């Protein structure tokens, strides 16, 4: 943890407030936003006995509606594990995660997820890939097609609806994956290093794009990245995790005005934030 320690009033490392926070998950906050997610004393252990790996330990934090949280931490500190628990894909060993007042205990329809690789079906064109969750959830095709076209326009893919994944660049494929995650209007968007496989320039473009989409749709987002600049550029708050077992090392607000242009990355206030992340991670390794 940095010498200053967490500053956010909702920082999960404030243990006392965390203890009764399950009941407060939906409590209205002073600034009017309500908490969408409450993670309480969450721990994850893989395996048993001497071979057991403690991936997460005593994770506590809340996320307000419409907030963009970046999660940074060394490789193997449990970031993907945390997202899998929040997605309902993995039961937590201890503690709980609550979404909109309901404990997450299995896959849910109100969550969208974007992975590092876009995982598109090669035999489905762009529109059909985007409509996959709507098909699985048996949502009305007609209504969903309208929404899909609107979202594809939002990410600049109008005209590519009937193309196949292999006809698209990596950045375009990741946009399709993003639209697919948004198609059923989830309350929460989980993104696990979604731009990690892209070249630096495309990645920067995608950062600007994602910010624009987020400003337009105001989803609650948890965004995992290894890049300190990407983390700060996108976030309202940055959660920095320590090396395994992953704990919250720091959590702080990024109060840079929006919309942010890429030029902000060269400013001193931006540097203050990235240095703060590095201070927590120094010794932890695994960061770009």
> Which residue, 12 or 78, is less far from ligand ATP as judged by CB?
78
Binding flag, residue 171, ligand ATP (CB under 6 A) = no
Q: The sheet that has 68-72: what strands, in order across it?
A: 111-114, 188-192, 220-224, 68-72, 237-241, 248-253
Residue among 62, 44, 60 at smallest CA distance from 52: 44
> Which residue, 271 or 286, is less far from ligand ATP as judged by CB?
286
Q: Two tokens at 11?
A: 């920082």
Binding flag, residue 220, ligand ATP (CB under 6 A) = no
Q: Contact with Mg ion (CB under 5 A): which of 80, 125, 173, 274?
A: 80
Which listed range, 21-29, 58-66, 68-76, 101-109, lies at the site for ligand ATP (CB under 6 A)?
68-76
In the range 228-267, which residues lie near ligand ATP by CB under 6 A?
Answer: 244
Q: Contact with ligand ATP (CB under 6 A): which of 8, 10, 39, 78?
A: 78
Which listed range, 73-81, 166-174, 205-213, 274-282, lies at the site for ligand ATP (CB under 6 A)?
73-81
Binding flag, residue 44, Mg ion (CB under 5 A) = no
> Which residue, 27 or 53, is less far from ligand ATP as judged by CB?
53
Binding flag, residue 81, Mg ion (CB under 5 A) = no
Positions that interact with ligand ATP (CB under 6 A): 46, 53, 55, 73, 75-81, 244
């Amino acid at each position: 943890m940095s010498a200053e320690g967490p500053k956010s009033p909702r920082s999960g490392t404030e243990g006392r407030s965390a203890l009764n926070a399950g009941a407060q998950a939906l409590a209205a906050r002073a600034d009017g936003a309500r908490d969408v997610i409450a993670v309480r004393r969450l721990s994850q252990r893989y395996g048993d006995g001497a071979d057991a790996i403690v991936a997460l330990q005593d994770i506590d934090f809340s996320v307000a509606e419409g907030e963009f949280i970046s999660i940074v931490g060394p490789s193997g500190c449990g970031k993907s594990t945390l997202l899998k628990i929040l997605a309902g894909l993995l039961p937590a060993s201890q503690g709980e995660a609550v979404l909109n007042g309901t404990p997450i205990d299995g896959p849910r329809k109100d969550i969208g997820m974007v992975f590092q690789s876009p995982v598109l079906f090669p035999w489905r064109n762009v529109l059909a890939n985007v409509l996959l969750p709507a098909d699985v959830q048996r949502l009305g095709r007609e209504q969903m097609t309208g929404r899909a076209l609107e979202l594809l326009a939002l990410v600049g893919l109008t005209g590519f609806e009937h193309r196949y994944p292999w006809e698209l660049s990596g950045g375009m494929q990741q946009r399709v994956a993003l639209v697919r995650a948004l198609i059923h209007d989830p309350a929460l968007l989980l993104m696990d290093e979604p731009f990690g496989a892209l070249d630096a320039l495309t990645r920067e473009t995608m950062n600007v794009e994602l910010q624009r989409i987020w400003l337009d749709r105001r989803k609650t987002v948890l965004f995992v990245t290894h890049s300190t600049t990407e983390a700060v550029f996108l976030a309202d708050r940055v959660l920095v995790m320590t090396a395994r077992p992953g704990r919250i090392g720091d959590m702080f607000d990024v109060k840079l005005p929006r919309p942010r242009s890429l030029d902000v990355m060269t400013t001193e206030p931006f540097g203050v934030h990235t240095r703060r992340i590095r201070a927590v991670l120094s010794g932890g390794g695994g960061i770009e």
